[in-house]
Each structure stands twice: as structure tokens, then as C-alpha cells.
Amino acid sequence: MSARAARWLLGGLLVLVTLGLYARTLSHEFVNLDDDVYVTANPALRDGLTLPGLRWAFTTGHAANWHPLTWLSHMLDVEFFDLDPGSHHATSALLHALAALLLFLWLAGATGKPFPSFLVAAFFAWHPLRAESVAWVAERKDVLSGALFFAALLAYGAWTREKSRARGLSVLVLFAAGLLAKPMLVTFPFVCLLVDLWPLGRTDALLARAREKAPLFALSLASAATTLLVQQAGGATHPLERVDLGPRLANAASSVMRYGADLLWPVKLACFYPHPSSLHPLGSPWTGGAALALALVVLASALAWRTRRARPSVFVGWCWFLGMLVPVIGLVQVGLQSHADRYTYLPSVGLGLALVFGGLEPLRARVPRIGARLGGALAIAGLGALALLAWRQIGTWRTSRTLFEHALEITRENFVAQSNLGQALESEGRLAEARERYEAALAIAPQAAPVHYQLGRLLFRIGERERAIREYRRALELEPLFELARIGLGISLSVQGQTTEAIRELGTVLDRDSRALSSADRAAAGQALAWCLATSPEDDLRDGARARTIAEESLRLAGAASPALLETLAAAAAELGEFEQAVRLEERALEGIPPSGRRAAAERLELYRSGRAYRTP
């Protein structure tokens, strides 16, 4: 078989198996782990791909990230498939298969060895650690940036063979596009320096090779600075006073070894691993495990350095793995996790290179006939085992409940999993079980303001409003700028008849230009505030004109007239003496009010017909 035919055959097999594995996600749902933030509750995506959406994508810091191409890919999905989760999952699976194919084509072309290159690409594509990046819609940035990364690497290989302005520009454009999909690609120039050593064999002066990559390094610096500014503005990074340098270094060393162990033995994988400092901030970060991990990282690095000439693939693979982890290893702490499976998406290729070209290939060379058969058998068995584990891990992402139930089986003291499982149970109407999960999360992390908010929301829903108010207040004590908690507090106070305080809390929210609030959140706050202003029993608090203005703005933000908004507009009209308008609005509201609320609405309607305004009891 010719080399070209072998490439086509192996490339086709790689793509087919990859798509077969992730075909399972076509029946998966969106999950309550950022899928709402990125897609389902993101108003910027509501109309698909539009000119205002295009401007938003390139100017927003939504979700504490700046990745405009990722936003555009989500917009295209909504444009063509609306909010069908299976179609969104299919796009991610196709991008992952494309990334694997491009990796194979680059490596086979650079080494001239199709079968070992196939093994590396399959190790990358079929590993269970990939499930998080591919089966999670919110991680679209991984698969999109991965495909662009390998396309840029393929273009770089072509440029090294025949330098031209056009080929150099193609590298720059593809690299820039990758950064616009996910800034983790800032290490691309570093990877180019590594592959210069092996497999490209460009062993001339290091300084000269670094100098030719100056435009790439400039793009990396610009992307890193932009990302840091956006994440700081979005509150995603933790300053040293919250997670100091000691725990960061300890966690970084532990994470490297954990990633290495999971790549070799991927049996206990979860969607979230709590950072030790988020649970035990006063404890010593340098446990025996962390110190041992640091020693092993140093030892592995020293061994890779010593074998750099005899085994350049091992040296390049280890440096690829370690270097690409630097942006996400926790030295700049982003989020609450200690580490994450998705962070291995591109770094894992480095260990694949070291294992295949530094391990199996030498075995094949030393004992050509037996070594080739033994190495091939081991590789096929290993890839089969990985694919089976990946199939199982992909299944855990089927629903929010299956995802977080699995996480609680795998991890300890996981307050995020407890809380998100509570949200999943609450959405299913299993309120008592949801409450247990929220309370379990707070028992682990009593300083978690979002969980106090979630519990407060549930308590309000089941009628325990005084307790709900206490939970909202506690959330605001922990995070004074937690606007959702302030909205919940304001609404709860208004229902309890504490109108003065409700107006103050809700007015505070609307007076701020908070980017953390969605249009729906602001509409809910405005509707509650307008209701208080229109129906307060205290004469000095009522303001019908202001109530109408706020309610009309809430209607604009909501995009549809809900019964609550219609009733609020009716109350404002009645306060202004426009009783005919109030009657028409209340009649419209009655059409959409459930049976349990119709009696009270009918009583308000009779008041308006008799020329009287409504006052809250």
C-alpha cells in the first residue's frame, strides 16, 4: 500500500471512530454548567447570526472571556438549529474530528510515519479526557481552537519547507483565529520552537528560530494581556489575597501529576474538582502529596532533558505537555476548580508523542518483527480500552443530573456538584431533594454566596419567605455586588409587604449598569419595583408615572408581555387615574394567569371598574 493510500485509510478510520464515539451526544441535553450562560439564556444569541451580534461578539467580555470566534460559532448554530441540543453537540463532534484529522496529517507529513502518527492522533481523539471538551456545549472554544491550532501547525510545517510571504501569512492568520477562539493558544510559538527540534529537525541557532517567530510572540502577548484584563473585569481571577502563591504552586505541581496520571489511567474523571483552598483556606498547601508531585515533575523534566539527543521525541513531548499547561495550571487562578479535564485537550498530544515515538517506535526498531507486532498489539488494545472508557464518560454528560451524580461519586466535598445537582432536581420539580442538595453544599462551603442565593430562591418558591430573605441577605453579606441575590431579596421583601426596603433594594439594582445581569433579570427587577411604586399602601412611596416608565422598559427588555407585567402596567394606569386602560390591561392579564391566581386578579379588575386603584395589603 502506498504512503498516500495509508494516510487516507488511517485518516478515514480516525474520523469515523471519533464521530461514532461522539454520536452518543446527539441525544444529550444542555447542562446547567454554563450552557445557559453561553447559549440557552444568552440574549445575544437569540436571533442567531446578526450584525449587532457580530459587534457584540468582538466587544463583549461576557462569561469573563474574550473569544469572538467562539461566540460566532454558537450564533451560527442558533441560526441554523435554534436551540436543538443535539445539533449543537454535532457541531462540536465534527470540529473535534477535524482537529484529530489535522493533527494526523501534520504529524504524518512531518515524520513520514503514518501509523505512529495515527496512534498519536487516536490517543488524542479517543481519550476519555476529551469528553468534557466535546460533550459540553459550553466548551466549544476547545474544539474550535484545537482545529485552528492544528491547521496553523500544518501551515507552519509547509512554511518551513518552502518559505514564502503567503505561507507565512497563513500561519499568522490561522494562529490569530485560534486565539480569537480560545486564548490558551498563546503557547503556539513555543510549540513551534519545539517541533523545530523534532520532528522537523531545524537545529540551527535557537535565537534565529525565536527571532523568526517574533510576530507570533507579539500576538501571544496581546492575547494574554487582553484575556487577563477581561477575566479580572469579569471577576473570574482570584487575587493573591484570596488564593495566595503557596497554594497555587502546590496545586500546580499536583495538577501536572494528576493530568499525567489521568492520561495514563483515566478511571475517575469528573466535571468539577474543587480547589483545596476554596474549602480549607487556612490549611497548609504543601502536603506530602504536593511535595512529592513537585519532586516528580522536576525528576521527569530532568530525565527528558538528559534524553533530548537520544530521544528528542520524549523531550519535545514532555515540554509540549508541560508548556501548554502553563496558562491553565492555576498560577493565575481562574474559577474554583483545582484542575479540569478540558485543560488537557491540546497538552495531551505531548504525552502521546512521547509514548508513541519515544516508547513504541524504539521497541519496533530494536526488534523489528516481534517489536512491531507487540507494539501494534499493545497500541490497538490501549486505544480500544480508551475508546470504551470514553464512551462511558461521554454518557455521564447526558443530562445535568447524570453529570453531577457522577461527579459526587468520584469526588469528595464537591459543593459545586451538590449545588448544580440541586438545580437539576429543582428543574424536575423535586424540591425537597433539591433543598437537601443546597444545604449539603452549604455544609461544605458556607461562604458560597451563589448557593445561599439558590437556596433562597427555592425557599421563596415553597413559601418560606422569611427564611428566603435571610438566605438572600447572607449571599449579599458575602458578595455585596451579587445582583441576582439583591433582586431576589427585593422581590421577597415586596411580597412580604416591606415596600420601603424592597424599593430601595430593587432601585439599587436598576441604578447600576451591571453587565452581570441579563435582560430577563433586569426585566424581573423592573417589574417588581414598578409594582411596589404603583401599589404601595404608603402615599409618599407611590409614583404611578415612574412605575409606568419602569414597567414599559421591563416590557421592552422582556420582549413579551407576561401576565405579571400586564398587571403591573394596569396598576400604574389605575394609580394615574386611567381606569379604562387599567381594565383593558387587567383583562389581558387574566387570560394568562393560572387558576390559582385568578381570584385575586378578578378582585383587582373589579376595583378598576369601580374607579379605584389597588393597594397591597
Residue 248 in domain = yes
The four Cα atoms 314, 317, 321, 323 give a dihedral, to 10 degrees, of 100
How many Å apart are CA 555 and CA 562, to the nearest integer?
8
Task: Enumerate residue ranges in the chain where pLDDT < 70.
Answer: 1, 231-248, 276-288, 330-336, 361-372, 375, 514-516
336 secondary structure, DSSP code: S
Q: Measure the CA–CA gap between 212 and 92, rounded to whole angstroms.
A: 34
Q: Please indicate, yes or no, if residue 472 is contained in any of the structural domains.
A: no
188 inside domain: yes
The answer to whether the bond into 199 is cis (omega within 30° of 0) is yes
Query: What was the pLDDT predicted at 441?
Result: 97
CB 557 within 8 A of CB 519: yes
Contact 264, 299 (CB under 8 A): no
Output the CA–CA distances (angstroms, integers) from residue 192 to 58, 108, 206, 226, 498, in the order listed: 28, 16, 12, 22, 64
Name, in order, each residue with C-beta under 8 angstroms of 206's C-beta and a sequence gap of 6 or more.
193
pLDDT of residue 505: 96
> How many CB atoms are located within 10 Å of the residue 292 CB?
13
Assess if residue 39 is contained within a domain: yes
The span from the CA of 100 to the CA of 178, in Å, is 15
Check residue 92 and give its pLDDT. Answer: 98
Q: Please, which residues bridge with residue 334 across strands?
A: 237
Q: DSSP character for 29? A: P
How many whole angstroms separate alpha carbon 430 and alpha carbon 422? 9
CB half-sphere exposure, 370, CA atoms < 13 A? 2
Q: What is d(CA 18, CA 137) in angstroms, rounded to the nearest whole number?
A: 17
C-alpha R_g of the chain: 28
Q: Is 524 contained in some domain?
A: no
Which residue's entry shows cell 516528580? 296
Residue-level pLDDT at 364: 64
pLDDT value at residue 241: 45
Residue 512 belongs to a domain: no
Q: Which domain holds residue 14?
A: 3-400
| Domain total in the chain | 1
Q: Confirm if 484 and 517 have CB atoms less than 8 A apart.
A: yes
Query: For residue 193, is it within any domain?
Result: yes
The 10 Å CB-count burial string (b at 16+, else e) for 420-449 is bbbbbbbeeeeeeebbebbebbbebbeebb
Residues contacting residue 369 through CB under 8 Å, at least 6 positions apart: none
Residue 65 corresponds to which amino acid?
A: N
Owner of C-alpha cell 454566596:
449
Q: How far is CA 260 from CA 265, 301, 390, 426, in A?
A: 9, 13, 17, 37
475 inside domain: no
User: Which backbone phi and psi does 334 adopt, to 5 degrees?
Assistant: -120, 125
